[in-house]
Amino acid sequence: MTPDKRYIVVRGRLWRAANPHLEPSERDRLVTALMTARRAVRTARAAGDPAAEEAAHRAVDAAKVALGERGPVWWTDGAPDLNRRMARNTAYADWFAQLSGKATEAGDA
């Protein structure tokens, strides 16, 4: 997770993190809804039901927007949304290079 808690990094790419200001009970409810919707996508796809799959994708999107992972950013300082960008090409580049270097050093031991 980036130092400002706005993104997680997966294979060098920034992905917007959930809003840390959500109440824990609300976050839990939304994560449960997200996981339910993701299972519905899998079930609909396996059943070959495009209408159900589309509805499930909409439910995934709604949960992710409510969590703050999509849609308007949850921070208020005017910083741009860098979602899906490579960390090395953003203002997080130096931080990421240090993090990557530590991971490489640990792997070399």
Q: What is the pLDDT of residues 42-67, one digit of tens each?
A: 999 999 999 999 999 999 999 999 99
- Its pTM stands at 0.84
Q: Record the tokens describing residue 25, joined without a space.
A: 């009970």
Q: Which residues pair with 38 in a beta bridge?
A: none
Q: How many domains does the chain have?
A: 2
Is 9 in the same domain as 27?
Answer: no
**Model confidence at 91, in pLDDT bands (50, 70, 90)?**
very high
Q: What is the pLDDT of residues 19-50, one digit of tens each?
A: 999 999 999 999 999 999 999 999 999 999 99
Is 31 in the same domain as 45?
Answer: yes
Is 60 in the same domain as 84?
Answer: no
Provide the domain limits for residue 7: 1-17+76-109
**pLDDT at residue 108, rounded to an integer:** 42
Is 37 in the same domain as 6?
Answer: no
- Per-residue burial over 42-66, b if 16 or more Cβ lie within 10 Å, else e, is eebeeeeeeeebeebbebbebbbeb
Is 80 in the same domain as 59?
Answer: no
